[in-house]
Amino acid sequence: MKKFFTLALVALFISKSGMAQDSETSKKFRAGLKFSAEPGWFTSGNTNTIKDKAGFGYGFGLVLDFRLSDVIYLSTGIGGDFENASVKYRNDGYDPYSFSGSQAFCTQYIQDNSNNFVKAENDVDVANYLKQGNSFYTLSSRKIKTTHITIPISLKMLTKEFSGFRYFGQFGGEIGIRSSVKSDDTYAYKETIDIVGTNITAGGTNTGQNISKDASTIPMRVGLNVGLGAEYRMAGSTSLFLSVNYFRSFTNLMRNDSYYNYTSTTVDSNGKVVFTHLSQNLIMSSIRINIGIMF
């Protein structure tokens, strides 16, 4: 009889442990935290700007999983992504020292003596742009740094548990709200209007530029977000996870035609300037290496 009670207690304990394990690993709702390392790069839809160096960004956020079935979850959350990458600008041999060279295709912008961007508006008197202290920069490359508040939405398909591990795939999208766009510019020439004429400096950098006014009018991006990963259950429903996701934006980061960057100018007989504005098409892609914990 004593042995019977002992066996019954052991069986009851095992049964309850199994039931607890099942209930803990199949919760209808889970929440967690993640940190992401994010190497990223820009691609362009035109030849005015081309891909340059990839950048290394990072992100973090809250993960929310809602169970739809034993193996399928609706995964969402909210986070912040801090990305950067560089682009080069086409230059067909612009040279301010040579008249023929100065007619070559290049990308330029104007700043006043307080380093504020001057909008390149058409049909404005040329004297408005030739004020003392104004500088004309010929862009070589630009490192663009962005900050987005992101909301991913995807289906997460998990396997059954094997020795504490569950493997999953994700397919879905992401909505991002842009909060900041800045740049570090490398320029080929800086031409500053002074008392005696134009002072020319060859080569240099212009860092910490706020270019948010030249970004897309609607501060939102929509993109693809897919990935693979695994999680390891440490105790109950608490699990560590590692995943690798590919993100690609569907939307242009910048305005289609720049407010400030231009590729050529003409002056009509009335002294009015006509700018050919830079056509822009910058699409962000990144690989996100995510590490996190689910509760």
Interval 148-189: pLDDT, tens = 999 999 999 999 999 999 999 999 999 999 999 999 999 999
Q: Which of 250, 243, 233, 289 is nearest to 75 (CA)?
A: 243
Give residue 19's pLDDT.
Answer: 38
Does 196 score more than 90 pLDDT?
no
Does 144 score more than 80 pLDDT?
yes
Q: Which of 127, 164, 145 is nearest to 82 (CA)?
A: 145
193 in helix, strand or coil?
strand
Give residue 139's pLDDT.
Answer: 97
200, 103 contact by CB (below 8 A): no
Residues in the chain: 295
Q: Residue written as tokens 């842009």? A: 178
Give residue 133's pLDDT.
Answer: 95
Structure tokens at 182: 């800045």
Give residue 27's pLDDT.
Answer: 84
283 versus 45: the higher-pLDDT residue is 283
Give residue 197's pLDDT.
Answer: 83
Interval 54-88: pLDDT, tens = 999 999 999 999 999 989 999 999 999 999 999 99
Rounded CA separation 167/122 (Å): 58
Confidence band, pLDDT 50/70/90 cuts, at residue 146:
very high
Does 42 score more than 90 pLDDT?
yes
Give residue 25's pLDDT.
Answer: 52
Q: Which of 75, 67, 45, 233 is nearest to 154 (CA)?
A: 75
- The whole-model pTM stands at 0.88
Interval 222-271: pLDDT, tens = 999 999 999 999 998 899 999 999 999 999 999 999 999 999 999 999 99
Dihedral of alpha carbons 168, 174, 179, 185, sign = positive
Confidence band, pLDDT 50/70/90 cuts, at residue 26:
low
pLDDT above 70 covers what percent of the chain?
Answer: 91
Confidence band, pLDDT 50/70/90 cuts, at residue 96:
very high
Rounded CA separation 137/120 (Å): 13
Does 6 score more than 50 pLDDT?
no
The domain segmentation of the chain, as residue ranges, is: 29-294
Could you please report the per-residue DSSP string of 22-60? HHHHT-SEEEEEEEEEEEEEEEESSSSEEEEEEEEEEEE
Does 3 score more than 70 pLDDT?
no
212, 190 contact by CB (below 8 A): no
